Amino acid sequence: MRLRYSDVTPEKVYLSRRELMAGAIALAAVGCDLGADATAAPTPTGAPLKATPNAAYRVQDAPTKFDAATTYNNFYEFGVNKEDPARLGQSLKPRPWHVQVDGLCAKPRTFDIEEILKLAPLEERIYSLRCVEAWSMVIPWIGYPLAALLKPVEPRPGAKYVEFTTLKDPEQFPGQKPGFFGGTLDWPYTEGLRLDEAMHPLTLLTVGMYGQVLPNQNGAPVRVVIPWKYGFKSAKSIVRIRLTDTEPKTAWNKAAPQEYGFYSNVNPTVDHPRWSQGTERRIGEFRRRTTLMFNGYADQVASLYTGMDLKKNY
Ligand code: MTE
């Protein structure tokens, strides 16, 4: 049987040691104001990256602590535990790095990471990230709309989808080594979007967070962030973006098709077969929150799905 998220990390069991510590602090603070301690972001320690805050894309909730966003990660290339990516992440070499953009387009091109950093003005956008495992964070990302990378390659009229591929290199990603404990995803990790989703202004090609370059564990040097979809759609450490006329096969859909659909829009009315999607645990908070349709981005994205049965297209 193949790996499934909660075969490894069931929601009630997967609290990492850090989370247990955070939980203990939260428990100790019941009755006090949790907000300040739970959400204040300490100064990042990585290389700084300048970006202009974009007030149009800024959720009102306070950002999750930098420490939590960089130590509680899903990045199965480093292992299945939340703390593995931070612990093992230094084996990933984010330079030199290239991203091949090809498939159904007039001007296929390979971009060097330094070119990518300069292709469009870097913006800071504060998005909420909702994982399919029913936890969430609020993260100040740095990047620009993916459309700015796709337009120069001139997608052909037949292009209907975009496929993202993460680097495959067992030397850099220990989780890709044959026999690695729990490592049963079909590498490389792939994800996909419809082309109109990929071109949507919210879809962010992301190179940094919290005012610094992306830490390895968060998908250095370049990833995507699609805030109205479950977090696993936001592929990390991307080396290829392919335009295609057919719906791409995606890593989690291949592993458990009945649990992880191609669309994977955040939807509190469509439960995961093994748990409710109606509420979520915001990392750093004590009480569960109600999950919002399209993760709170319904005004901006609902029209992409007009007439679609979102229970069928989960
Ligand atoms: N991308 C790759 N290549 N491998 C992964 O395991 N995990 C996904 C997504 N992108 C994953 C990935 C999941 S399940 C989530 S919730 C987010 O990354 C987590 O992003 P974060 O660690 O920056 O919060």
Q: Report how far ligand 1's centroid is from the alpha carbon of 74 (Å).
A: 5
Confidence at residue 79, expressed as pLDDT on a 0 to 100 scale? 94
Q: Report how far ligand 1's centroid is from the alpha carbon of 198 (Å).
A: 17
More confident residue, 108 or 40: 108
pLDDT class for 307, splitting at 50, 70, 90?
A: very high
Q: Does some domain include residue 312?
A: no
Q: Output the six-digit token pair for 288.
A: 């569960």
Q: Is 269 exposed, middle or buried (0-12, 13-18, 19+ CB in 10 A)?
A: exposed
Residue bearing the CA closest to ligand 1, atom 13: 232
Query: Residues enclosing ligand 1, CB less than 6 A?
Result: 73-77, 129, 131, 166, 189, 218-219, 231-232, 234-237
Least confident of 40-49, 212-221, 256-265: 40-49
Q: Report how far ligand 1's centroid is from the alpha carbon of 233 (Å).
A: 8
Confidence at residue 99, expressed as pLDDT on a 0 to 100 scale? 98
Q: Which atom belonging to ligand 1 lies closest to the Cα atom of 219? A: 23
Mean pLDDT of 301-305: 98
232, pLDDT greater than 50? yes
Confidence at residue 210, expressed as pLDDT on a 0 to 100 scale? 98
Q: Report how far ligand 1's centroid is from the alpha carbon of 227 (Å).
A: 13
Q: Could you give the percent of the chain with pLDDT greater than 90?
A: 83
Sheet with 161-166: list strands edge to edge.
109-112, 98-103, 238-244, 161-166, 190-194
Residue bearing the CA closest to ligand 1, atom 24: 73
Confidence at residue 182, expressed as pLDDT on a 0 to 100 scale? 60
**Exposure of 213 in the CB half-sphere (CA atoms within 13 A):** 13
Q: Does some domain include residue 17?
A: yes
Q: Does some domain include residue 160?
A: yes
53 forms bridges with which residues in the sheet?
124
Q: Does some domain include residue 30?
A: yes
Q: Does some domain include residue 10?
A: yes
CATH number at residue 158: 3.90.420.10
Structure confidence by residue, pLDDT tens digits, 97-141 = 999 999 999 999 999 999 999 999 999 999 999 999 999 999 999
26, pLDDT greater than 70? no
Confidence at residue 215, expressed as pLDDT on a 0 to 100 scale? 97
Q: Could you give the percent of the chain with pLDDT greater than 70?
A: 85
Least confident of 36-40, 58-62, 243-247, 272-276: 36-40
Q: Is 259 exposed, middle or buried (0-12, 13-18, 19+ CB in 10 A)?
A: middle
Q: Report how far ligand 1's centroid is from the alpha carbon of 246 (Å).
A: 24
Please give the angle made by the CA atoms of 110, 114 and 116, to the nearest 5 degrees. 60
pLDDT class for 28, splitting at 50, 70, 90?
A: very low
Q: Report how far ligand 1's centroid is from the alpha carbon of 157 (Å).
A: 31
How many domains does one find in the chain?
Answer: 1
More confident residue, 1 or 297: 297
More confident residue, 26 or 211: 211
Q: Report how far ligand 1's centroid is from the alpha carbon of 292 (Å).
A: 20
Confidence at residue 184, expressed as pLDDT on a 0 to 100 scale? 73
C-alpha radius of gyration, the chain, whole number? 19
Classify 305 in phi/psi space as left (phi over 0), alpha (psi -120 to 50) or beta: alpha
35, pLDDT greater than 50? no
Residue bearing the CA closest to ligand 1, atom 6: 75
Mean pLDDT of 156-168: 98
Q: Which of 7, 64, 74, 76 maximizes ligand 1 atoms within 8 Å of its Cβ, making it the mutation to test the pocket?
A: 74
- What DSSP character marks residue 44? P
Confidence at residue 5, expressed as pLDDT on a 0 to 100 scale? 53
Confidence at residue 3, expressed as pLDDT on a 0 to 100 scale? 53
Q: Does some domain include residue 172?
A: yes
Give the C-alpha separation, 9 to 79, whole Å. Answer: 12
**Average pLDDT over the chain, rounded to an integer:** 89
Q: Does some domain include residue 311?
A: no
Are the beta carbons of 123 and 53 closer than 8 angstroms? yes
Residue bearing the CA closest to ligand 1, atom 14: 232
pLDDT class for 174, splitting at 50, 70, 90?
A: very high
Q: Does some domain include residue 314?
A: no
Q: Which of 76, 89, 86 is nearest to 185 (CA)?
A: 76
Instruction: Name the residue range of residue 133's domain.
Output: 5-305
Residue bearing the CA closest to ligand 1, atom 8: 232
In what helix (H) or strand (E) does residue 239 lie, and over which residues does it extend? strand 238-244
Mean pLDDT of 196-203: 98
